[in-house]
Amino acid sequence: MSKPERQLALNLFIYPGGHHEAAWRYRESEPRRVLDISYYQELARRAEAAKFDAIFFADGPSLPENVRYSSRVRFEPVTWLTAIAAVTSRIGLIGTASTTYNEPYNLARLFASLDHISNGRAGWNIVTTSDAGAAQNFGLPEHPPHGDRYDKAREFLDVVTKLWDSWEDDALVADPASGVFADGDKVHRIDHVGKHYRVRGPLNVSRSPQGRPVYVQAGSSEDGRSFAARHAEAIFTAHQTLASAQAFYADIKTRAGALGRRPEHIRILPGISPFIGSTQAEADRLEEEIDALIQPAASLEQLKRMLGVDLSGYDLDGPFPRHVIDRQGPNGVASRFQLVMDIVDREAPTLRGLIKRLAGARGHWVLAGTPDRIADAIQTWFESGAADGFNVMPPWLTGGFDIFVAEVVPILRKRGLFRAEYAGTTLRDHYGLPRPESGYAVARRRSA
């Protein structure tokens, strides 16, 4: 088979213990290793050996309330990724950091440092944070509204971009003979004064190998889509159906094109959480075995965060109480709220049925099947205008990932859909993204 022009992008999305809510209870899981860095280093090395584009680590600046029943402790992402960088050489390193609960200068310095340490493999997953419980951890009386968070995020990204551009590529001279360490004319104060931030700059880290880390975004609300179309270079998204994924894909690419961007420079990567068996029956039994470990109290707490309503007093085996959901409330604009309500409207599940669906991967696509069925589904979405690749979300770790690499990846390679070797060294190389030039260098050239 001739090699197609497009190649799948595959990330390993690492969630402590696995993506199923009850994964930590599964007999093959290792829940006591969630704070053992060697556990994650082993996973990263396996993903790199399989030639995955990146590993991705999600994060939030607060401890969810359902920690009694769920594995929720985790490392701070940049610290964690730096430890991963030390034992890998090619795989991309994507970490989450909030624009609501960070300062631009510190975040710019952290990710620029990671990009240097990893020789150009850093990516920043830009989030505004949906968890209202984070506010009290940062001295705020309440969590900012959705629209306000995105307004702040736009300025935050503007500041961080200026800081990452503040050193031109050739500003660092380091010439002992002349005594010149840096060309001061090519190191720029940004002197940003805006609605939310006042930042002088320049950054105290020179321009990083990728020019700047890859911009990743995960929101699918109206604000999130607008932000992603303008700024994101990779988008992590959740869809339950091919039609939904196709509509999102077309919308983002169209919006980006209208803004003067090249749509092919945006990688759209839905999540897929596969239960894999040698037969369909075996895959179904595996899913049922892990589903049986669900603790409804934990799942109802997760549902409360998504919908903004406590449903713990309702009959789990009765119809979903749709009448108590406020579509016009503050949660109604969130993409995950819409995804959950779409499931309710499309499938009319019981409350127990819904929490079972969401326990699998928090609203991402859960699919049980043979390796060929999983590969077929990935190929269909990839070739039908629904995805440029996927975030692979193993239901449990490490076995759920090992099976995917051993059984599904070879099929994708045989079909010419996924690389056998890396073609470059940076995350931008893996995604096929250009290296941006410093905005200050562009302005210098235009004024010359």
Which tokens belong to 372? 């060929």
The answer to whether 221 is annotated as binding is yes
Are 18 and 400 within 8 A, CB to CB? yes
- Tokens matching residue 216: 């990743």
- Structure-block tokens of residue 237: 């998204």
Beta bridge partners of 127: 98
- The whole-angstrom separation of Cα 219 and Cα 147 is 12
Q: Is 220 annotated as a binding residue?
A: yes
Q: Which of 405, 394, 409, 398 is nearest to 287 (CA)?
A: 394
The answer to whether 38 is a known ligand-binding residue is no
The single-letter code of the amino acid at 261 is: R
146 is in an annotated binding site: yes
- Rounded-to-10 torsion of CA 362, 365, 369, 370: -110
User: Is 59 marked as a binding-site residue?
Assistant: yes
Task: Please provide the distance, in angstroms rounded to a whole number, between the alpha carbons at the two ends of the chain.
Answer: 50
Under the phi-then-psi rule, with left for phi > 0, alpha for psi from -120 to 50, and beta for the rest, what region is 18?
left
Instruction: Say whether 364 counts as a known binding-site residue.
Output: no
Contacts of 300 (CB under 8 A, 6+ apart): 310, 311, 312, 355
Residues annotated within the binding site are 59, 96, 146, 150, 220-221
Residue ranges of the binding site for FMN: 59, 96, 146, 150, 220-221
